[in-house]
Chains A and B, each alone.
Chain A
Amino acid sequence: MKCDRIRARLVAFLLGEVSQRESNRIASHIGNCPSCLEELDSLQLTVGLLQGLPQERLSPSFEEQLAARLAVLRESGENARPALRTPGPGALRRIAVGGAALAGTALILMLTVFRPSLVVPESHPAPRRVVTIPRRGAPSPNRSTPLASVLVQRTKPTQVAKVSPLGRIVGIAGEPRLRASGEKSWHVCLKEDPIPGVAALMTAETDRAEIELPDGSRIRLDYDTHLEMARATGAGSGVRSAKLNLRSGTIWLLLTRGQAGMVVSTPTATVEALGGFFRLSAKQGAPRFHGRLEGQQAGAEPETNIAVVRGTAKLSNQHGMITVAEGDCARLQTGKPIALPDAAGRLEAIRLQVPWGQKGFLDWAPEPLSWADAFEKLAGGRARLGVELEPTPMADAPSATGLGVTKVLAGSPAEKAGIKPGDRLVRVDELMIASREDLARSELLFSPGQHLPLLIERAGQSLQLTAALAEPGVSSLRIEGDALERANRRFAMKETAEAMRAYKEMVAKGEQESAALNNLGVAYEFTVRAKSAVAAYREAVRLSPKVAQYRFNLALGFFRIGNLPRAADELEAALASDSAFADARFLLGRIWALSGEYEAAMEQARSLQTSPASSARGYCLMGEIAMLRGEPKEAESWYLRAAETDPLYLDPRVYLARTCFIQERLDEARTWVESALRLDPSSLQALNGLGLVLFRQRRLDEAEQVLRKAAALHPESGKVYNNLALVYLGGRDLAASEAAYRKAVALAPDATWCHYGLAVALEHSHRLAEAKRECAVALRLDPTYEPASQRLASLYRRSGEVQLAANILDRARRYSF
């Protein structure tokens, strides 16, 4: 009791607002009561924090602003007027603020109507879909070398690990560099075959790792380490486990030789690499690959495994059997069948994403695929020697005398070097050739333009030759293969500009024109060039009016640029040729809802209730309808239902996050985006969402971290850079903010928001003229964009151009109705 009384007076005591007598009493109590002392300490800290708040300076434009306002008053002689007729305090402000708020409310509606792209989540599978035309010719029957490869997800833009068909990393594109933050990005090159079954790559987040081998020796991996474990331990020594000591970061261990591999990630110290495992096994004798992924992974979420698919594959996940198209990723669920239904389908790689501190292990033997085929697929425009070798001997012991050359291609570097059929190829550079794969490997390692020393054996004699590898495109040995497929691959690797160039080239040549146009459209959309995307889709539809996918993409394009009627027409047409097209139905439902036709929208939602997967979409759509009708509570329950119906469905989680976010329930919003991120840790939408939530929670450092990660994963996304810029702006780092906005503008030149954001940043740097220009650009792109007109008006007011400001506001008001 006494403590309570004392505590009630502690602030007064602290501030010296108590009598001397009381002060003595309190002081003596505190001397004997640690908890009251602590209470006093915390109050003292609070007072200290309050008194120590930094002071903001008025900006230099304050004076101009006030002078402009006073000039108006002086002119009108208002201050001389009787008090009753003077406008009340802040009356002008009230008009402005009131107008802004009113217009703002209208704007929300406008936004929802005319910017529906907001509501179609990024993870929407459709716009990413790239059509693949099946490769001509069936795979040759005598393919026996199992392929196991892993695509490495880099956290840096433009740095994509090249994985050989044998699963080895042969280098990472892009320059290694040290960043200002002290973070290193990696350049890892594995020169030798590592321990069978184990190869390692460190990602950008890893700064140092140590591999401990069972014999007690350690290999330290450092910046630019070449991993040469095979040499260190003797190939085939059967090493099955390695211990990794990481200071921080992630390690992805990759497969070799279709044997086994592991993926380890850890935020801290030591991880035993072989723990649980996944096994992807093919049924013996099946004509095409049918198999399943079996998981055994303590505590990990098996659905975080991602399959990257070339061609088309049917995969089973929580949505049932789904078709995964070129460039798409699908979450794999353990224990469920995977099938590649057509000859063109190929499961190219499986990426295991193992949560922090968990273990994963992949072991698979998919459909036999010749290394040459895989090589072509994976190696892109690499240089080739131009020889064909005899089949690898089946002996256990590798041949020490090389392999016989069966054919030398005309005009190839091999021919120019003087190799003849019947020679035995023994060594290429430092690499002994004991199998066809060795040659493929050597070709992967070397770059066009390089001079390769060759060792061959001819009639019992060793000969040293040198082959000059041709520059790509110069050689007659250019990589064969479908132009579309190659362009798609570039796109999948996020080399968007390259891919677009390739698509355009195809269109110019009239090669697979409609598919190229469609994919070009997707690439445009990817770079937020909505109008160009529509034009491309339109041409694709004109050339191939029967393809529902093209129509859907066109509809999406129309939808994004706000042409709802045209979008609806295209969707109806798409559904006419494919009535089970769930994405089209979903989007059509949204369009009806946006147009206020709630009943028609509900009908679409109901007709989605056919399978568990699509009924979750139906619930989502019902949620969207409720949202548009202004019933967020109802919407929330629909979203929840969608999330429950399909625990692997990402969208409802993001929608829920959005709903909470709008209602300022930031903690809940955060919980939902985080759960979305558990489903897909690289989801652009969810990462963006998390960044924004953290920003609003004023956890700027964390927000920056998340968004930088998002930017690394999605270097093409203007939105991410925009948000990053916002966070920098919040942290008052004006230079960084401007740079990020400029990047966003470059990536999304048609997007209103980044021009507006850039204007804000420029204004903070007191570059008012430039700020005005950016505001004007934003308004030209979207005259209804209220924040831009408000800001432009205020910029004009600051520079005393009161009339111009009034005009802007006037026009904005006209638009807002």
Chain B
Amino acid sequence: MDSEAVDRFLGGDERAFDALVQRHRQRIFDLVYRMTNDRDWAEDITVEVFVEVFRSLPKFQKKAKFGTWLHRIALNVCLENIRQRKAKKYVPEVPLEEAELASVSDPAQSAARGDSAARVMAAMQTLPEVHRAAVTMFYLEERSCAEIAEILHIPRNTAKTRIFYATRVLRDNLRAQGILPQSGGASE
């Protein structure tokens, strides 16, 4: 289905692109949102992703599936944005006593339904980006290790190790926050 739409688009049918967007936008947004934990920013990045896809589709050589290629672009755009934000030494703009914290970052980034979901999201942000990407695709999109390896251009076993490792790190983090019970012994 994807490849058919891609062909139509390359053949000059721009409406085919809309179909591709329709089909994939929520999935891409989910991925980016998990990567950034900032709803509005994620939405902006998702726009970027599809702009980039629109631009690069003529170069798409169909060596991989469209979905895989799209994910790769999405992650690249996303990582590039995150990298830039990090490089700008993120400093809250407003001193403590002022109420303008609204401008520190968009408040929506802390939005999540339920406290624990917000904290899980926050915990994910402590993972290195590549690990975060792997975990997101594995748990959220339920992609296989092989697919993830392909998207991330890494060996399959590396992808596995990252997922396992990141899961443990998250578990430790959630334990430390008290979302998960502390490890035994003490409680008994």
Contacts and interface: CB of A to CB of B under 8 A. Distances in A.
Contact of A12 (B91, B135, B160): B160
A699 B119 CA distance: 9
26 contacts: A11-B163, A35-B184, A42-B181, A49-B120, A50-B140, A53-B117, A53-B121, A66-B50, A70-B54, A78-B55, A79-B58, A83-B59, A98-B84, A102-B88, A108-B91, A658-B95, A662-B95, A664-B92, A673-B96, A696-B101, A722-B99, A723-B101, A732-B111, A753-B99, A756-B100, A794-B44
B77 A89 contact: yes
Interface stretch (B63-71, B147-155, B164-172): B164-172
B5 interface: no
Contacts of A53: 34, 112, 117, 120-121, 140
Given A50-B135, A58-B43, A90-B81, A754 B99 contact: yes
A47 B139 contact: yes
B53 to A, nearest CB: 10
Interface in A54-75: 54-59, 62, 65-66, 69-70, 73-74
B101 A695 contact: yes
B113 A54 contact: yes
Interface stretch (A405-413, A434-442, A533-541, A684-692): A684-692
Contact of A56 (B17, B29, B174): B29
A66 B47 contact: yes
Q: Chain B interface residue count: which class?
A: 35 or more
Contacts of B2: none
A34 B81 CA distance: 45
A403 interface: no
Is chain B's interface secondary structure helix, strand, loop, or mixed overall? helix
A462 interface: no
A726 B114 contact: no
Interface stretch (A22-30, A117-125, A513-521): A117-125
Interface residues of A, number: 97
B21 interface: yes
A93 interface: yes
A50 B85 contact: no
A45 interface: yes
Contacts of A756: 100, 102-103
A719 B26 CA distance: 37
Contacts of A657: 96
Contacts of A726: 99, 101-102, 107
Contacts of B158: none
B4 interface: no
B13 interface: no
Contact of B73 (A58, A62, A89, A698): A89
A266 B30 CA distance: 47
A324 interface: no
Contact of B98 (A42, A118, A673): A118
B16 interface: no
A46 B46 CA distance: 27
Nearest to B33: A56
A615 B102 CA distance: 35
Interface in A135-169: none
Contacts of B33: 56
Nearest to A69: B51
A542 interface: no
Contacts of A764: 108
B145 A17 contact: yes
A118 B97 contact: yes
Is chain A's interface secondary structure helix, strand, loop, or mixed overall? helix
Contact of A108 (B56, B76, B93, B117): B93
Shortest 5 CB-CB distances between A and B: which pairs? A658-B96, A719-B99, A101-B88, A787-B103, A753-B100
Nearest to A699: B115
**Residue from A50, A92, A102, A720 having most chain B Cβ neighbours under 10 A:** A50
A56 B30 contact: yes
A729 interface: yes
A46 B48 contact: no
A51 interface: yes
Contact of A654 (B96, B107, B117): B96
B39 A56 contact: yes
Nearest to A58: B29
Given A53-B121, A787-B93, A46 B81 contact: no
B57 interface: yes
Given A11-B163, A12-B164, A726-B107, A86 B183 contact: no
Contact of A74 (B14, B21, B59, B92): B14
A786 B102 CA distance: 12
A43 B135 CA distance: 14
A11 B168 contact: yes
A115 B14 CA distance: 51
A718 B100 CA distance: 11
Nearest to A115: B98
B94 interface: yes
Contacts of B121: 53
A661 interface: yes
Nearest to A117: B98
**Residue from B33, B102, B116 having most chain A Cβ neighbours under 10 A:** B102
A51 B140 contact: yes
B130 interface: no
Contact of B48 (A39, A93, A696, A722): A93
A105 interface: yes
B77 A101 contact: no
Contacts of B26: 55, 57-58
A79 B54 contact: yes
A395 interface: no
A677 interface: no
A730 interface: yes
B97 A654 contact: yes
A669 interface: yes
Given A46-B170, A49-B174, A93-B45, A38 B183 contact: yes
Contacts of A56: 29-30, 33, 39, 42, 111
Given A43-B168, A760-B106, A118 B80 contact: no
